[in-house]
Structure 1
């Protein structure tokens, strides 16, 4: 049995090792400023024809508009970046798409690296693009010069499973750094299945807060964001540095972990926004649960977490915390929470310090089953921060929390 397993491992190893293609063999040149899109596309197409392999990208700077990975035949590809830079190139002028003036040439989510399974309304990943690894690449766009663009991202993916981005950076993006979405072009396909997305050891810098999100998860069954940093991201009116926002209640959104991440100078609604959708008759799979945010640091944010629920929020009383926010520090913030018909949320062992006392949040928080326990509020105006709809007060629990103001400590329960 051991021999069979060893032989199988060697076969897989040799398969991928032998299928290593260097983009320079297809005409890419990381030492000039010419457009390398065609060379990258030819390399990707050849790997797809081989059934997968490794795209070797020698150290350099490459200019790319759109490399398209359309269909599940583009599965099993590893991008070995070697510290290279991908500079996003925009061709032509902005055009009006829906209500957005955009460089995009598709109507939902364009990208420099563009993955699309080209299927619709999937409830599993059998037709998804599988086993993608993007390692040690640095994506750069010029948001300062070109400005905000709702539809133009650096990586855009629709219908991916086992999708990993690691040891990479995303700088100056016009829309998102990474968009895991429900469709790149809604006129053609919508709702392919995204599953098991990992983003680790990555840096996101929006430069001037004139972007959309660092990462968007519009339809994703399981994700991990770990050891990442986010700064200078998200303009007014946009959600967050990380936005978890399913577009329909039949789209599975669950089991997302955000761990050991830093958020600095984040605009928009919050550092992290999570939408909780009501139950679906079309898709009976349990969704909108299993979110954990832990061991994170937040500095200069409006609020660390916003939860946007739904009209059925009062009906959720199953004793299961859908969102757990724990073991984190918030230093420099405007309001503790932004809950809009939220439900079953736990704050545990959080430290809030240095509230912006000139800011006043006028919207009442509305929720069902919200607990704050074992947390510290230092130099924080508690009364101002808990503007709560009277119907929600009975569903709020405080357990063993402390307040420190002007060096004086007190414990409060209610």
Structure 2
């Protein structure tokens, strides 16, 4: 991206009589045409501090657009369709499905976009930044404030059946603040090959009236030609993403047809007061199907309302070095820290090749278990520490499903520690068991035989039940 050209100042493209009011944040002037003229005239455009009422700003290749931090505010002019996309690369059928034709080398930094959701309310397709058919974009230190739909939309076009692809998008040190939880997603990914989200904060995002594809970051391609792969989410914070059915991150692989969807890493992130921390929505899969390859490492989950990590039927998942905690211990309505497998729409989704290692679980009050294994093929749960679990550390489902496809097999449980923390005076901790069987999320008396499975070298402190009363679990490894 070019930095050689001298920056033009957008104020020089706006009426002189309006400039003082813009700088003071009290202008009612429509700044759209002036800012657009500045962008059309130069590859480097500066937005001084002030409040600029705008409708739609069209970006271009080779552009650096920047301000003076959140003091440089672009604010939705009104709630009309003219403000549907505040800032955009391509809309409608702009661009082509060939990435060679993409808009490229766009650098946006140090300004604030305000969608005014607190004034105008929710509107699904109103985006602060819409990115389509774009390669090599860097967005850093931008505040996405009060978005009505998505804060930033990385899509395949703004028409439903338009095929467009994005490449190499970096979102760094940005703030996504939904303000009043009447929006959709902070960052919505429909199509992107190689995405890095680094050091961002997502807060106050959600909408209790909408479906589960709502939250801080939502990966949800619309077509089988959609791409999202080579995803890195690191050093991010997800705070109060706690409307019902709302997730810090949602990974959806329903349009996976081969190599188009896979390869996601979430590392060194914090999830605080989220309904779900990470939610994996999937179609039923087998070992022969293309893999998802989700890695979650060194993350901290505190006071999730339901699941911290819901794998569903994702394949090749690793969860390592994470902390899952309820504070105070046993608080909240109850939910598993990690859930493997699910049964939805009368179809069983068994997790395939799941590794849960080196994690710490503290004070979880689970529905099934701190690790709830509903359906899974190849599971390793090793080297974890379970402290003051208000129920079972690991629970295996006995539920009957109409498709008869729910299975638990090839399970290794090894090297885990189950213990109590020093007890505070007058605090009841209930019964804690290391293993149990469950049905419809409740511990039940049952006999379970697990083929090609092993349980060994686990340390269960005296006073903690090794296997819940009435359960008989046989590990049939040879």
**CA deviation after TM superposition for structure 1 residue 141, in Å:** 2.3
Residues 412 and 33 (structure 1), Cα distance of their counterparts in 2 relative to 1, 3 Å cut? farther
If each structure's helix is expressed as a fraction of its own residues, which one has the higher value? 1
Report what 2:277 is aligned to: 304
Q: Map 1:9-408; keep pairs closer than 5 Å.
A: 16-18=3-5, 20-27=7-14, 29=19, 30-31=22-23, 32-47=27-42, 53-69=43-59, 74-83=60-69, 84-92=72-80, 104=81, 110-116=84-90, 118-119=93-94, 122=97, 124-186=98-160, 190-236=162-208, 237=211, 238-267=213-242, 268-277=245-254, 279-280=256-257, 286-311=259-284, 313-316=285-288, 322-333=293-304, 334-354=306-326, 356-359=331-334, 364=343, 366-382=350-366, 383-384=368-369, 386-389=371-374, 392-405=375-388, 408=420
**1:208-259, Cα deviation, whole Å (9 max, x unpaired):** 2211111011100011110111111121324220011121222221001000
**CA deviation after TM superposition for structure 1 residue 144, in Å:** 2.0
Residues 120 and 277 (structure 1), Cα distance of their counterparts in 2 relative to 1, 3 Å cut? farther
Q: Distance in 2 between the 1:178 and 1:359 partners?
A: 32
Residues 366 and 208 (structure 1), Cα distance of their counterparts in 2 relative to 1, 3 Å cut? farther
Q: Distance in 1 between the 2:10 and 2:293 partners?
A: 44
Q: Distance in 2 between the 1:45 and 1:245 partners?
A: 33
> What SS class does the counterpart of residue 168 from structure 1 fall into?
strand
TM-score, normalization: structure 1? 0.81
Gaps of 5+ in 2: 344-348, 390-418, 422-433, 435-457, 461-474
Residues 303 and 91 (structure 1), Cα distance of their counterparts in 2 relative to 1, 3 Å cut? closer
Q: Distance in 1 between the 2:55 and 2:226 partners?
A: 30
User: Would you say the 8 A contact 1:217–1:244 is kept in 2?
Assistant: yes
RMSD across aligned positions (CA): 2.7
Aligned residues: 367
> What SS class does the counterpart of residue 314 from structure 1 fall into?
coil
Please identify, of 252-261 and 241-250, the stretch whose mean Cα deviation from structure 2 is larger: 241-250
Which structure: larger Rg?
A: 2
User: Would you say the 8 A contact 2:236–2:269 is kept in 1?
Assistant: yes
**1:58-100, Cα deviation, whole Å (9 max, x unpaired):** 221111111124xxxx2000002122111122354xxxxxxxx
User: Would you say the 8 A contact 1:77–1:133 is kept in 2?
Assistant: yes
Gaps of 5+ in 1: 1-11, 48-52, 93-103
**1:7-37, Cα deviation, whole Å (9 max, x unpaired):** xxxxx86xx4335322122216432231111
Q: Distance in 2 between the 1:412 and 1:208 partners?
A: 46
User: Would you say the 8 A contact 2:246–2:274 is kept in 1?
Assistant: no
Q: Distance in 1 between the 2:278 and 2:143 partners?
A: 23
Please identify, of 225-234 and 333-342, the stretch whose mean Cα deviation from structure 2 is larger: 333-342
> What SS class does the counterpart of residue 185 from structure 2 fall into?
coil
TM-score, normalization: structure 2? 0.71
Q: Distance in 1 between the 2:308 and 2:45 partners?
A: 45
